[in-house]
Amino acid sequence: MTAHDKRLKLSGHPIFRQLKDLGLSAENSIEVFLPSLRDADDVQVLRCAKSGVLFLSDLFDPKDFYEDAGIEDGHDNEFNTVAVTAPGKDEMVRTPKPDDDLRRAGDFASYVRGKTWLDFGAGLGDTLDVMGHESTECAAVELNASMRAGMAAKGITAFESIEALGDRTFDIITLFHVLEHLTDPLAILSRLKKHLAPGGLLLMEIRHARDFLLHDVNCPAFREFSIGRQHLLLHTRESVRRFAEAAGYGSVKIEGRQRYPLSNHLYWLSEGKPGGHKAWGHLNDDALDTAYQARLAALDATDTLIAWVRV
């Protein structure tokens, strides 16, 4: 099924326009990948057969889905303390740090060590919380006001926008699973470049449109679960490179990274549910998971892309 009937809408679609301008897409290369979203029945997921990217037929303002939630309080290397409000019940709940933040500390702490660091789209500041001590100075840009307040309570400087940074520059700027949520990724990348110090690094972790469970196998449950209205554009290696180069960066290195192990994939294919890396944790094995990641990387089928970008 092609998106021929949506051509007029695509002509004014901001993300499609950027894809087309960058030579990544064209009207006749667009097809419907999913007829609706799990959280928006009238929005389709479109796929470009030319570049492999996935994007939504209609975009949402990030403010529509990054609503105020609980805020984090306290500073702890292993746990978050989150304020949870419910009808007739207010309590503080202590939850483990997300696995991804602990993994990132292992993967990326060396890049922020001894550097000034800005995390763009920091959320609750978990990644800053885990490895901010490695940097000489760390700060965040975060749209959500309650999340900024939570970071401020822990002593993390949090700005509401890029403009609020003024003329400050940083040795490293990170975007951890942020690029896929931006309505104007090219503009954001261009503006962030102005806040990189000479020789600075833009480090991005990005959802991959060629994820094995999305692209290579027929797993409707995973497709429906994994793409929501906040996932405006899922990238490929080539789209990340083209956007970075168009934003004025000169050096782009991209690698595949697999966040979830074989047990997770087998569970999805068998049970159609998330959490297989825990439910079937007895299958987890370092050597097996390393080999599986290496094979997926060779096939360009990892769930995540890591990009190291310099001016």
- Domain extents in the chain: 1-59+179-311, 64-176
Calculate the CA dihedral of residues 215, 216, 220, 225 and round it to 10 degrees.
Answer: -50
- Determine the average pLDDT of the residues in 136-148: 93
Condensed to tens digits (0 to 9), the pLDDT of residues 64-91 reads: 655 444 433 333 334 444 443 444 444 4
- Per-residue buried b or exposed e for 117-151, using 16+ beta carbons within 10 Å of the residue's own CB: bbbbbbbbbbbbbbbbebbeebbbbbebebbbebb
Condensed to tens digits (0 to 9), the pLDDT of residues 35-64 reads: 999 888 999 999 999 999 999 999 877 666
pLDDT on residue 64: 64
Residues in contact with 285: Cβ distance below 8 Å, sequence separation at least 6, in sequence order: none
pLDDT on residue 77: 38
Cβ atoms of 205 and 304 within 8 Å: the answer is yes
Share of the chain above pLDDT 90, in %: 76
Helix (H) or strand (E) holding 117: strand 116-120
DSSP letter for 97, please.
Answer: P
- Determine the average pLDDT of the residues in 231-257: 97
Please, where are the H alpha helices in the chain? 7-11, 14-21, 99-112, 126-131, 145-153, 185-193, 212-215, 220-226, 237-246, 262-271, 276-279, 286-298
User: Which has the minimum average pLDDT: 10-14, 75-79, 236-240?
Assistant: 75-79
For residue 118, name the pLDDT band (cuts at 50, 70, 90): very high
Inform me whether the pLDDT recorded for 135 exceeds 80: yes
Strongest mean pLDDT among 72-86, 146-160, 245-259:
245-259
Tell me the C-alpha distance between 130 and 109, whole Å: 9
pLDDT on residue 67: 47
- Per-residue buried b or exposed e for 71-108, using 16+ beta carbons within 10 Å of the residue's own CB: bbeeeeeeebbbeeeeeeeeeeeeeebeebbbebbeeb
pLDDT on residue 244: 98
Condensed to tens digits (0 to 9), the pLDDT of residues 197-218 reads: 999 999 999 999 999 999 999 9
- Determine the average pLDDT of the residues in 95-122: 88
pLDDT on residue 100: 83
Percentages helix, strand, coil for the chain, rounded to the nearest 5? Answer: 40, 25, 35
Class of the CATH-defined domain 1-59+179-311? alpha beta
- Determine the average pLDDT of the residues in 232-254: 97
Indicate the average pLDDT of the chain: 88
- Determine the average pLDDT of the residues in 24-32: 94
45-48 β-sheet, strand order: 30-34, 45-48, 54-56, 233-234
Q: Please state, as a whole number, how many other Cβ atoms lie within 10 Å of the Cβ of residue 52.
A: 20
Q: Which CATH number fits domain 64-176: 3.40.50.150, 3.90.550.10, 3.40.50.300, 3.30.420.40?
A: 3.40.50.150
User: Cα-flanking dihedrals φ and ψ of residue 19, to 5°?
Assistant: -60, -40
For residue 128, name the pLDDT band (cuts at 50, 70, 90): very high
Inform me whether the pLDDT recorded for 120 exceeds 60: yes
Helix (H) or strand (E) holding 307: strand 304-310
Condensed to tens digits (0 to 9), the pLDDT of residues 164-201 reads: 999 999 999 999 999 999 999 999 999 999 999 999 99
Domains 1-59+179-311 and 64-176 share a fold: yes
CA 308 to chain centre: 15
